Structure 1
Amino acid sequence: MYVDSHCHLDFPELFTRIDEVLTRMRERGVGYALCISVTLERFPQVLNLVERFSNLYATVGVHPDEQDARTPSVSELVKLASHPKVVGIGETGLDYYRLQGDLEWQRERFRIHIRAARQCAKPLVIHTRSAAADTLRIMEEEGANEVGGVMHCFTESWQVAQAALGLDFHISFSGIVTFKNAAALKDVARRVPLERLLIETDSPYLTPVPYRGKTNEPAYVVHVAEEIARLRNVPVHTIEKATMENFFRLFRITPFSTGQALERA
Protein backbone atom coordinates (compact mmCIF):
# COMPACT_ATOMS: atom_id res chain seq x y z
CA MET A 1 0.00 0.00 0.00
CA TYR A 2 1.24 3.47 -0.91
CA VAL A 3 0.90 6.58 1.27
CA ASP A 4 0.84 10.20 0.15
CA SER A 5 2.64 11.92 3.02
CA HIS A 6 1.83 15.49 1.92
CA CYS A 7 -1.14 16.83 -0.03
CA HIS A 8 -3.69 19.66 0.08
CA LEU A 9 -7.05 17.98 -0.39
CA ASP A 10 -8.84 21.04 0.96
CA PHE A 11 -7.69 23.14 -2.00
CA PRO A 12 -10.54 23.69 -4.50
CA GLU A 13 -8.83 21.79 -7.33
CA LEU A 14 -9.28 18.60 -5.28
CA PHE A 15 -11.94 19.36 -2.67
CA THR A 16 -14.69 19.99 -5.21
CA ARG A 17 -14.28 16.42 -6.51
CA ILE A 18 -13.08 14.69 -3.36
CA ASP A 19 -15.03 11.46 -3.88
CA GLU A 20 -13.50 11.04 -7.33
CA VAL A 21 -10.02 11.79 -5.96
CA LEU A 22 -10.37 9.21 -3.18
CA THR A 23 -11.77 6.61 -5.55
CA ARG A 24 -8.75 7.04 -7.80
CA MET A 25 -6.50 6.70 -4.76
CA ARG A 26 -8.08 3.37 -3.92
CA GLU A 27 -7.79 2.14 -7.50
CA ARG A 28 -4.05 2.91 -7.54
CA GLY A 29 -3.38 1.29 -4.16
CA VAL A 30 -2.83 4.55 -2.25
CA GLY A 31 -4.32 3.80 1.13
CA TYR A 32 -3.59 6.92 3.20
CA ALA A 33 -2.95 10.62 2.75
CA LEU A 34 -1.80 13.39 5.06
CA CYS A 35 -3.69 16.66 4.51
CA ILE A 36 -1.43 19.60 5.28
CA SER A 37 -2.62 22.82 6.91
CA VAL A 38 -1.32 26.11 5.49
CA THR A 39 -3.30 28.67 7.53
CA LEU A 40 -5.40 28.61 10.67
CA GLU A 41 -8.25 30.14 8.68
CA ARG A 42 -8.35 27.05 6.42
CA PHE A 43 -7.70 24.55 9.20
CA PRO A 44 -11.40 23.90 10.03
CA GLN A 45 -11.98 22.70 6.46
CA VAL A 46 -8.92 20.43 6.67
CA LEU A 47 -10.17 19.02 9.95
CA ASN A 48 -13.70 18.50 8.62
CA LEU A 49 -12.28 16.58 5.69
CA VAL A 50 -10.13 14.19 7.72
CA GLU A 51 -12.96 13.58 10.17
CA ARG A 52 -15.09 12.31 7.27
CA PHE A 53 -12.62 9.69 6.05
CA SER A 54 -10.79 7.16 8.19
CA ASN A 55 -7.70 7.03 5.97
CA LEU A 56 -7.04 10.79 5.99
CA TYR A 57 -5.01 12.58 8.65
CA ALA A 58 -4.05 16.23 9.16
CA THR A 59 -1.40 18.61 10.39
CA VAL A 60 -1.88 22.07 11.84
CA GLY A 61 0.30 25.04 10.99
CA VAL A 62 0.86 28.20 8.96
CA HIS A 63 2.93 28.05 5.77
CA PRO A 64 5.94 30.41 5.58
CA ASP A 65 4.64 31.89 2.31
CA GLU A 66 1.42 33.03 3.98
CA GLN A 67 2.67 36.48 4.97
CA ASP A 68 -0.76 37.92 5.67
CA ALA A 69 -2.01 34.91 7.62
CA ARG A 70 -2.30 35.12 11.39
CA THR A 71 0.68 33.64 13.22
CA PRO A 72 -0.51 31.27 15.96
CA SER A 73 0.81 31.08 19.50
CA VAL A 74 2.49 27.97 20.84
CA SER A 75 -0.48 27.24 23.08
CA GLU A 76 -2.94 27.60 20.21
CA LEU A 77 -1.05 25.12 18.05
CA VAL A 78 -0.76 22.68 20.93
CA LYS A 79 -4.50 22.89 21.58
CA LEU A 80 -5.41 22.32 17.92
CA ALA A 81 -2.93 19.46 17.68
CA SER A 82 -4.69 17.61 20.50
CA HIS A 83 -7.33 16.40 18.03
CA PRO A 84 -6.80 12.66 17.43
CA LYS A 85 -6.67 13.07 13.64
CA VAL A 86 -3.98 15.77 13.83
CA VAL A 87 -0.65 13.96 13.73
CA GLY A 88 1.91 16.69 13.07
CA ILE A 89 2.81 20.38 13.24
CA GLY A 90 3.23 22.28 9.96
CA GLU A 91 3.58 23.08 7.21
CA THR A 92 6.21 25.37 8.64
CA GLY A 93 9.73 26.48 7.78
CA LEU A 94 11.41 29.20 5.72
CA ASP A 95 11.04 30.38 2.14
CA TYR A 96 13.36 33.09 0.84
CA TYR A 97 12.47 32.42 -2.79
CA ARG A 98 9.04 34.05 -3.00
CA LEU A 99 9.35 36.70 -0.30
CA GLN A 100 11.81 39.59 0.00
CA GLY A 101 12.88 42.08 2.66
CA ASP A 102 13.03 41.58 6.41
CA LEU A 103 11.85 38.03 7.01
CA GLU A 104 12.42 37.90 10.75
CA TRP A 105 8.66 37.36 11.16
CA GLN A 106 9.05 34.15 9.15
CA ARG A 107 11.89 32.90 11.33
CA GLU A 108 9.94 33.68 14.50
CA ARG A 109 6.88 31.86 13.15
CA PHE A 110 9.09 28.85 12.45
CA ARG A 111 10.41 28.90 16.02
CA ILE A 112 6.85 28.97 17.37
CA HIS A 113 5.97 25.84 15.40
CA ILE A 114 9.04 23.97 16.64
CA ARG A 115 8.28 24.92 20.24
CA ALA A 116 4.69 23.75 19.83
CA ALA A 117 5.84 20.46 18.30
CA ARG A 118 8.16 19.84 21.24
CA GLN A 119 5.41 20.69 23.72
CA CYS A 120 2.85 18.32 22.18
CA ALA A 121 5.45 15.73 21.11
CA LYS A 122 4.33 15.58 17.49
CA PRO A 123 6.62 15.61 14.42
CA LEU A 124 7.24 18.64 12.23
CA VAL A 125 6.50 19.03 8.53
CA ILE A 126 9.14 21.45 7.25
CA HIS A 127 9.24 23.48 4.04
CA THR A 128 12.52 25.10 3.03
CA ARG A 129 13.32 26.94 -0.18
CA SER A 130 16.41 29.07 -0.79
CA ALA A 131 16.84 29.10 3.00
CA ALA A 132 18.59 25.85 3.92
CA ALA A 133 21.27 27.35 6.19
CA ASP A 134 18.80 29.32 8.32
CA THR A 135 16.33 26.43 8.35
CA LEU A 136 18.92 24.02 9.74
CA ARG A 137 20.28 26.60 12.17
CA ILE A 138 16.86 27.27 13.69
CA MET A 139 16.07 23.55 13.81
CA GLU A 140 19.26 23.05 15.83
CA GLU A 141 18.71 26.08 18.09
CA GLU A 142 15.12 25.13 18.90
CA GLY A 143 15.74 21.41 19.44
CA ALA A 144 13.69 20.12 16.51
CA ASN A 145 15.58 16.83 16.81
CA GLU A 146 13.59 16.10 19.97
CA VAL A 147 10.48 15.40 17.87
CA GLY A 148 11.88 14.83 14.39
CA GLY A 149 9.70 15.07 11.35
CA VAL A 150 10.04 15.40 7.59
CA MET A 151 11.72 17.76 5.16
CA HIS A 152 8.88 17.80 2.67
CA CYS A 153 9.22 18.18 -1.11
CA PHE A 154 12.97 18.00 -0.74
CA THR A 155 14.97 19.85 -3.43
CA GLU A 156 18.22 20.62 -1.61
CA SER A 157 21.70 19.09 -1.81
CA TRP A 158 22.93 15.83 -0.32
CA GLN A 159 24.82 17.88 2.30
CA VAL A 160 21.56 19.48 3.45
CA ALA A 161 19.89 16.07 3.49
CA GLN A 162 22.69 14.69 5.65
CA ALA A 163 22.28 17.54 8.13
CA ALA A 164 18.52 16.97 8.33
CA LEU A 165 19.02 13.23 8.76
CA GLY A 166 21.41 14.02 11.59
CA LEU A 167 18.56 15.89 13.30
CA ASP A 168 16.36 12.77 13.09
CA PHE A 169 14.33 13.99 10.12
CA HIS A 170 12.96 12.05 7.17
CA ILE A 171 13.40 13.18 3.57
CA SER A 172 10.31 13.25 1.35
CA PHE A 173 10.38 13.33 -2.44
CA SER A 174 7.62 14.74 -4.65
CA GLY A 175 6.97 14.56 -8.39
CA ILE A 176 10.00 16.80 -8.93
CA VAL A 177 12.19 13.70 -8.70
CA THR A 178 10.61 12.47 -11.96
CA PHE A 179 11.63 15.60 -13.91
CA LYS A 180 14.41 15.22 -16.48
CA ASN A 181 16.30 18.26 -15.22
CA ALA A 182 16.40 17.07 -11.59
CA ALA A 183 19.73 15.20 -11.82
CA ALA A 184 21.07 16.41 -8.46
CA LEU A 185 17.84 15.54 -6.70
CA LYS A 186 17.81 12.08 -8.27
CA ASP A 187 21.24 11.53 -6.75
CA VAL A 188 19.91 12.45 -3.30
CA ALA A 189 17.01 10.02 -3.80
CA ARG A 190 19.54 7.24 -4.40
CA ARG A 191 21.40 8.01 -1.17
CA VAL A 192 18.77 8.66 1.51
CA PRO A 193 18.58 5.65 3.87
CA LEU A 194 15.54 3.54 3.13
CA GLU A 195 14.31 3.85 6.72
CA ARG A 196 14.18 7.66 6.40
CA LEU A 197 12.46 7.89 3.02
CA LEU A 198 8.96 9.26 2.35
CA ILE A 199 7.01 10.01 -0.82
CA GLU A 200 4.40 12.68 -1.51
CA THR A 201 2.53 14.55 -4.19
CA ASP A 202 2.17 18.06 -2.68
CA SER A 203 -0.98 17.97 -4.79
CA PRO A 204 -2.57 19.79 -6.49
CA TYR A 205 0.93 20.97 -7.47
CA LEU A 206 4.11 19.38 -8.89
CA THR A 207 2.45 16.72 -11.01
CA PRO A 208 4.91 13.91 -11.81
CA VAL A 209 5.80 12.49 -15.19
CA PRO A 210 3.81 11.20 -17.11
CA TYR A 211 0.98 13.53 -16.04
CA ARG A 212 2.76 16.88 -16.38
CA GLY A 213 0.28 19.63 -17.22
CA LYS A 214 -2.57 17.98 -15.31
CA THR A 215 -3.75 18.67 -11.77
CA ASN A 216 -1.79 16.53 -9.34
CA GLU A 217 -3.57 14.21 -6.91
CA PRO A 218 -2.64 11.52 -4.36
CA ALA A 219 -3.09 8.64 -6.84
CA TYR A 220 -0.03 9.90 -8.70
CA VAL A 221 2.31 9.27 -5.75
CA VAL A 222 2.81 5.82 -7.28
CA HIS A 223 4.90 7.43 -10.01
CA VAL A 224 7.20 9.02 -7.43
CA ALA A 225 7.77 5.58 -5.91
CA GLU A 226 8.41 4.05 -9.31
CA GLU A 227 11.06 6.64 -10.17
CA ILE A 228 12.86 6.21 -6.84
CA ALA A 229 12.80 2.44 -7.31
CA ARG A 230 14.32 2.88 -10.76
CA LEU A 231 17.02 5.18 -9.41
CA ARG A 232 17.92 2.75 -6.64
CA ASN A 233 17.59 -0.33 -8.82
CA VAL A 234 15.16 -2.05 -6.45
CA PRO A 235 11.62 -3.41 -6.93
CA VAL A 236 8.96 -0.74 -6.52
CA HIS A 237 7.45 -2.84 -3.72
CA THR A 238 10.59 -2.12 -1.69
CA ILE A 239 9.89 1.63 -1.86
CA GLU A 240 6.16 1.13 -1.34
CA LYS A 241 6.67 -0.95 1.82
CA ALA A 242 9.42 1.18 3.32
CA THR A 243 7.68 4.53 2.80
CA MET A 244 4.41 3.14 4.17
CA GLU A 245 6.09 1.81 7.31
CA ASN A 246 8.11 4.99 7.76
CA PHE A 247 4.94 7.10 7.55
CA PHE A 248 3.07 5.08 10.16
CA ARG A 249 6.07 5.06 12.49
CA LEU A 250 6.86 8.76 12.18
CA PHE A 251 3.30 9.97 12.66
CA ARG A 252 2.39 7.24 15.17
CA ILE A 253 -0.57 6.01 13.17
CA THR A 254 -1.97 2.53 13.61
CA PRO A 255 -3.05 1.44 10.12
CA PHE A 256 -6.35 -0.17 9.33
CA SER A 257 -6.43 -3.38 7.39
CA THR A 258 -6.17 -2.93 3.63
CA GLY A 259 -9.87 -3.60 3.24
CA GLN A 260 -10.78 -0.85 5.69
CA ALA A 261 -8.68 1.84 4.07
CA LEU A 262 -10.58 4.55 2.19
CA GLU A 263 -13.81 3.99 4.09
CA ARG A 264 -15.71 6.92 5.46
CA ALA A 265 -15.22 7.47 9.17
Structure 2
Amino acid sequence: RDGIFANVSSDNEFSDNRFRDLRFAIHYMYVHDSVVSGNVSLGNHLGYAIMNSNNVRVENNLSRGDRDHGIMMNYTNESEIIDNRIEQVSEKCLFIYNSHKNIFAGNLFSGCGIGVHFTAGSERNQLYGNGFVGNQVQVQYAGTSWVDWSYNGRGNYWSDHPGFDLNGDGIADAPYRPNDAMDQVLWRQPAARLLLGSPAVQLVRWSQGAFPALLPGGVMDSAPLMQPVDPKITPWKEIQ
Protein backbone atom coordinates (compact mmCIF):
# COMPACT_ATOMS: atom_id res chain seq x y z
CA ARG A 1 0.00 0.00 0.00
CA ASP A 2 2.63 2.57 1.05
CA GLY A 3 6.17 2.73 -0.24
CA ILE A 4 7.53 3.79 3.15
CA PHE A 5 5.43 4.02 6.34
CA ALA A 6 7.03 5.44 9.49
CA ASN A 7 5.03 5.57 12.73
CA VAL A 8 5.95 6.99 16.16
CA SER A 9 9.64 7.50 15.51
CA SER A 10 12.25 10.21 15.13
CA ASP A 11 15.57 10.98 13.46
CA ASN A 12 14.68 9.18 10.22
CA GLU A 13 16.04 10.01 6.79
CA PHE A 14 14.56 8.56 3.59
CA SER A 15 16.40 9.75 0.49
CA ASP A 16 16.72 8.95 -3.22
CA ASN A 17 13.90 6.41 -3.46
CA ARG A 18 11.48 5.92 -6.36
CA PHE A 19 7.80 4.98 -5.97
CA ARG A 20 5.13 4.14 -8.51
CA ASP A 21 1.49 2.92 -8.45
CA LEU A 22 1.07 2.85 -4.66
CA ARG A 23 -1.31 4.44 -2.17
CA PHE A 24 1.23 6.80 -0.53
CA ALA A 25 4.84 7.06 -1.64
CA ILE A 26 6.01 8.13 1.84
CA HIS A 27 3.68 8.19 4.85
CA TYR A 28 4.72 9.72 8.18
CA MET A 29 2.57 9.39 11.31
CA TYR A 30 3.86 10.90 14.58
CA VAL A 31 7.36 11.24 13.19
CA HIS A 32 9.65 14.02 14.41
CA ASP A 33 13.06 15.49 13.58
CA SER A 34 13.29 13.66 10.27
CA VAL A 35 14.15 14.24 6.60
CA VAL A 36 12.49 13.26 3.31
CA SER A 37 14.74 14.24 0.40
CA GLY A 38 15.49 13.44 -3.21
CA ASN A 39 12.61 11.01 -3.68
CA VAL A 40 10.40 10.46 -6.74
CA SER A 41 6.66 9.73 -6.65
CA LEU A 42 5.02 8.82 -9.97
CA GLY A 43 1.35 7.97 -10.42
CA ASN A 44 0.56 7.19 -6.79
CA HIS A 45 -2.63 8.18 -5.01
CA LEU A 46 -0.61 10.56 -2.83
CA GLY A 47 3.04 11.50 -2.91
CA TYR A 48 4.23 12.62 0.53
CA ALA A 49 1.84 12.42 3.49
CA ILE A 50 3.21 14.09 6.63
CA MET A 51 0.72 13.64 9.47
CA ASN A 52 0.80 14.49 13.19
CA SER A 53 4.50 15.25 12.96
CA ASN A 54 6.91 18.03 13.93
CA ASN A 55 10.21 19.33 12.61
CA VAL A 56 10.23 17.37 9.36
CA ARG A 57 12.23 18.60 6.36
CA VAL A 58 10.76 17.66 2.96
CA GLU A 59 13.31 18.77 0.38
CA ASN A 60 14.11 18.32 -3.31
CA ASN A 61 11.46 15.68 -3.98
CA LEU A 62 9.43 15.13 -7.15
CA SER A 63 5.73 14.31 -7.36
CA ARG A 64 4.49 13.84 -10.92
CA GLY A 65 1.10 12.53 -11.98
CA ASP A 66 -0.06 11.58 -8.49
CA ARG A 67 -3.83 11.53 -8.18
CA ASP A 68 -4.97 13.10 -4.90
CA HIS A 69 -2.18 15.28 -3.47
CA GLY A 70 1.49 15.79 -4.18
CA ILE A 71 2.20 16.77 -0.57
CA MET A 72 -0.26 16.60 2.31
CA MET A 73 0.42 18.26 5.67
CA ASN A 74 -2.05 17.15 8.34
CA TYR A 75 -1.60 18.31 11.96
CA THR A 76 2.08 18.92 11.20
CA ASN A 77 3.98 21.86 12.68
CA GLU A 78 7.34 23.65 12.55
CA SER A 79 8.48 21.81 9.43
CA GLU A 80 10.13 22.92 6.18
CA ILE A 81 8.91 22.09 2.67
CA ILE A 82 11.74 23.29 0.46
CA ASP A 83 12.66 23.06 -3.26
CA ASN A 84 10.18 20.37 -4.26
CA ARG A 85 8.64 19.95 -7.70
CA ILE A 86 4.95 18.99 -7.64
CA GLU A 87 3.35 18.72 -11.07
CA GLN A 88 0.41 17.24 -12.98
CA VAL A 89 -1.47 16.13 -9.87
CA SER A 90 -5.15 15.57 -10.65
CA GLU A 91 -6.45 17.12 -7.43
CA LYS A 92 -4.07 19.24 -5.33
CA CYS A 93 -0.38 19.96 -5.50
CA LEU A 94 -0.33 20.82 -1.78
CA PHE A 95 -2.98 20.26 0.90
CA ILE A 96 -2.49 21.84 4.33
CA TYR A 97 -4.88 20.87 7.12
CA ASN A 98 -4.62 22.24 10.66
CA SER A 99 -0.85 22.69 10.36
CA HIS A 100 1.07 25.67 11.72
CA LYS A 101 4.43 27.45 11.74
CA ASN A 102 5.69 25.64 8.66
CA ILE A 103 7.85 27.14 5.90
CA PHE A 104 7.09 26.47 2.23
CA ALA A 105 9.80 27.98 0.03
CA GLY A 106 11.35 27.38 -3.38
CA ASN A 107 8.72 24.86 -4.49
CA LEU A 108 7.11 24.57 -7.93
CA PHE A 109 3.39 23.76 -8.00
CA SER A 110 2.49 23.19 -11.62
CA GLY A 111 -0.32 21.80 -13.74
CA CYS A 112 -2.53 20.64 -10.86
CA GLY A 113 -6.25 20.93 -10.32
CA ILE A 114 -5.54 23.15 -7.29
CA GLY A 115 -2.15 24.62 -6.46
CA VAL A 116 -2.62 24.93 -2.70
CA HIS A 117 -5.66 24.16 -0.57
CA PHE A 118 -5.34 25.13 3.07
CA THR A 119 -8.04 24.94 5.71
CA ALA A 120 -8.89 24.26 9.38
CA GLY A 121 -6.95 27.19 10.78
CA SER A 122 -3.76 26.75 8.75
CA GLU A 123 -3.11 30.46 8.25
CA ARG A 124 0.04 30.58 10.41
CA ASN A 125 2.47 29.32 7.78
CA GLN A 126 5.06 31.12 5.65
CA LEU A 127 4.85 30.68 1.87
CA TYR A 128 7.38 32.57 -0.24
CA GLY A 129 9.66 32.00 -3.20
CA ASN A 130 7.32 29.38 -4.67
CA GLY A 131 6.04 29.12 -8.23
CA PHE A 132 2.36 28.56 -9.05
CA VAL A 133 2.23 27.72 -12.74
CA GLY A 134 -0.74 26.67 -14.83
CA ASN A 135 -2.92 25.28 -12.06
CA GLN A 136 -6.64 25.31 -12.79
CA VAL A 137 -7.14 27.03 -9.41
CA GLN A 138 -4.05 28.52 -7.82
CA VAL A 139 -5.34 28.77 -4.23
CA GLN A 140 -8.38 27.36 -2.46
CA TYR A 141 -9.13 29.13 0.81
CA ALA A 142 -12.61 29.90 2.07
CA GLY A 143 -11.62 31.40 5.42
CA THR A 144 -12.08 35.02 6.45
CA SER A 145 -8.59 35.73 7.81
CA TRP A 146 -6.20 37.97 5.92
CA VAL A 147 -3.08 36.04 4.88
CA ASP A 148 -0.01 37.61 3.24
CA TRP A 149 2.20 35.13 1.39
CA SER A 150 5.46 37.05 1.30
CA TYR A 151 8.52 37.28 3.52
CA ASN A 152 11.17 39.99 3.72
CA GLY A 153 9.85 41.64 0.58
CA ARG A 154 9.74 38.46 -1.50
CA GLY A 155 6.54 36.68 -2.48
CA ASN A 156 5.73 33.98 -5.01
CA TYR A 157 5.46 33.66 -8.78
CA TRP A 158 1.93 33.40 -10.24
CA SER A 159 1.57 32.45 -13.89
CA ASP A 160 -1.81 34.19 -14.12
CA HIS A 161 -0.62 37.48 -12.63
CA PRO A 162 -0.29 40.17 -15.35
CA GLY A 163 2.10 42.25 -13.27
CA PHE A 164 4.56 44.98 -14.21
CA ASP A 165 8.04 45.65 -12.84
CA LEU A 166 8.92 49.19 -13.83
CA ASN A 167 12.02 49.47 -11.62
CA GLY A 168 13.41 46.07 -12.64
CA ASP A 169 13.87 44.69 -9.13
CA GLY A 170 12.18 41.37 -9.94
CA ILE A 171 9.13 42.17 -7.79
CA ALA A 172 5.80 43.15 -9.34
CA ASP A 173 4.78 46.72 -8.65
CA ALA A 174 1.33 45.80 -7.34
CA PRO A 175 0.16 43.10 -4.91
CA TYR A 176 -1.74 40.11 -6.18
CA ARG A 177 -4.73 38.24 -4.80
CA PRO A 178 -4.89 34.65 -6.08
CA ASN A 179 -8.31 34.25 -4.49
CA ASP A 180 -11.06 36.65 -3.51
CA ALA A 181 -14.45 36.93 -1.84
CA MET A 182 -16.14 35.40 -4.87
CA ASP A 183 -14.02 32.27 -4.40
CA GLN A 184 -15.45 31.90 -0.91
CA VAL A 185 -18.96 32.08 -2.35
CA LEU A 186 -18.15 29.56 -5.08
CA TRP A 187 -16.66 26.99 -2.70
CA ARG A 188 -19.69 27.22 -0.41
CA GLN A 189 -22.29 27.40 -3.20
CA PRO A 190 -20.99 25.61 -6.33
CA ALA A 191 -24.15 26.49 -8.25
CA ALA A 192 -23.04 30.12 -8.17
CA ARG A 193 -20.53 29.28 -10.91
CA LEU A 194 -23.38 29.92 -13.33
CA LEU A 195 -22.99 33.62 -12.50
CA LEU A 196 -19.24 33.84 -13.12
CA GLY A 197 -19.62 35.82 -16.31
CA SER A 198 -22.18 38.24 -14.97
CA PRO A 199 -21.40 41.98 -14.80
CA ALA A 200 -21.95 42.00 -11.03
CA VAL A 201 -19.31 39.33 -10.41
CA GLN A 202 -16.85 41.01 -12.76
CA LEU A 203 -17.38 44.31 -10.95
CA VAL A 204 -16.70 42.73 -7.55
CA ARG A 205 -13.50 41.10 -8.82
CA TRP A 206 -12.34 44.28 -10.49
CA SER A 207 -12.87 46.26 -7.30
CA GLN A 208 -10.91 43.72 -5.27
CA GLY A 209 -8.04 43.85 -7.73
CA ALA A 210 -8.00 47.64 -7.76
CA PHE A 211 -8.50 48.10 -3.99
CA PRO A 212 -7.48 44.81 -2.31
CA ALA A 213 -7.41 46.25 1.20
CA LEU A 214 -11.08 47.21 1.06
CA LEU A 215 -12.31 43.62 1.13
CA PRO A 216 -10.65 41.66 3.96
CA GLY A 217 -10.22 37.93 4.01
CA GLY A 218 -8.29 35.67 1.68
CA VAL A 219 -4.73 35.38 0.41
CA MET A 220 -2.67 38.31 -0.81
CA ASP A 221 0.88 38.29 -2.12
CA SER A 222 2.27 41.75 -1.43
CA ALA A 223 5.51 41.14 -3.35
CA PRO A 224 4.81 38.82 -6.33
CA LEU A 225 7.84 37.53 -8.21
CA MET A 226 8.23 38.28 -11.91
CA GLN A 227 10.29 35.19 -12.77
CA PRO A 228 9.16 31.57 -12.31
CA VAL A 229 10.66 29.29 -9.70
CA ASP A 230 12.44 26.21 -11.04
CA PRO A 231 13.72 23.78 -8.38
CA LYS A 232 16.65 21.77 -9.66
CA ILE A 233 16.46 18.00 -9.46
CA THR A 234 19.02 15.46 -10.61
CA PRO A 235 18.62 14.17 -14.20
CA TRP A 236 17.60 10.61 -13.27
CA LYS A 237 14.54 11.95 -11.50
CA GLU A 238 13.19 13.23 -14.81
CA ILE A 239 12.95 9.71 -16.25
CA GLN A 240 9.36 8.50 -16.43
TM-score in terms of structure 2 length? 0.31
- Hey, which of these two has a bigger chunk of strand by percent? 2
Higher RCO (CA 8 Å, separation ≥ 6 residues): 1
- Hey, which of these two has a bigger chunk of helix by percent? 1
User: Which structure has the bigger radius of gyration?
Assistant: 2
TM-score in terms of structure 1 length? 0.29
